[in-house]
Amino acid sequence: MIQTYIPGRGNINLEILVLDYNGTLALDGRMFDSVKENLKRLSPYLEIHIITSDTFGSVVQQCEGLPVQVNVLESAEHIKEKGDYVLRFRPREVVAIGNGANDQLMLQQAQLGIAVIGGEGASVQALLSADLVVNAIEDAFGLLLETKRLKATFRL
């Protein structure tokens, strides 16, 4: 669990990390090496889930050996499916990270929604649905590993 207190927002207790794959953790289906290391660093604190359309068909192979659960979307309504996925847990214990238009409900439902701009860019829907926007996935991981950064950003 990751715990922190943010003045003006109260206590935050995060147990679940839900991640989009392409555009967030990967570019053109290939996961960034830094992501693999950060997922390993976060796994003692958070249960990690990757939920994706798997556009390039590579997510299972790319996640092999990592401490994550991979979930490939099955419906034609990806926005709803991703939002419903967060609701499988206690949303107050979920941090969600994504960049695409289909991540908007996932980002809204979570206690903490982080939009990543990254090399692929980010949809306006994701940006408007997030609590926080970062330039790269490494920045999002840094916020979770060093929670004083969250406090500095969210403090009222």
8, 17, 9: which is closest to 145 by C-alpha? 17
pLDDT one-digit tens code per residue, 14-57: 999 999 999 999 999 999 999 999 999 999 999 999 999 998 99
pLDDT one-digit tens code per residue, 84-109: 999 999 999 999 999 999 999 999 99
Q: pTM for the complete prediction?
A: 0.95
- Out of 3.40.50.1000, 3.30.420.40, 3.40.50.720, 3.30.70.100, select the CATH number for domain 2-154: 3.40.50.1000
5, 81, 89, 103: which is closest to 48 by C-alpha? 89
H or E segment to which residue 61 belongs: helix 59-62
51, 52, 45, 23: which is closest to 35 by C-alpha? 23
What token pair was written down for 120?
């692929």
List CB contacts of 152: < 8 A, sequence separation 6 or more. none
Residue ranges of domains in the chain: 2-154
Provide the mean pLDDT of the chain. Answer: 95
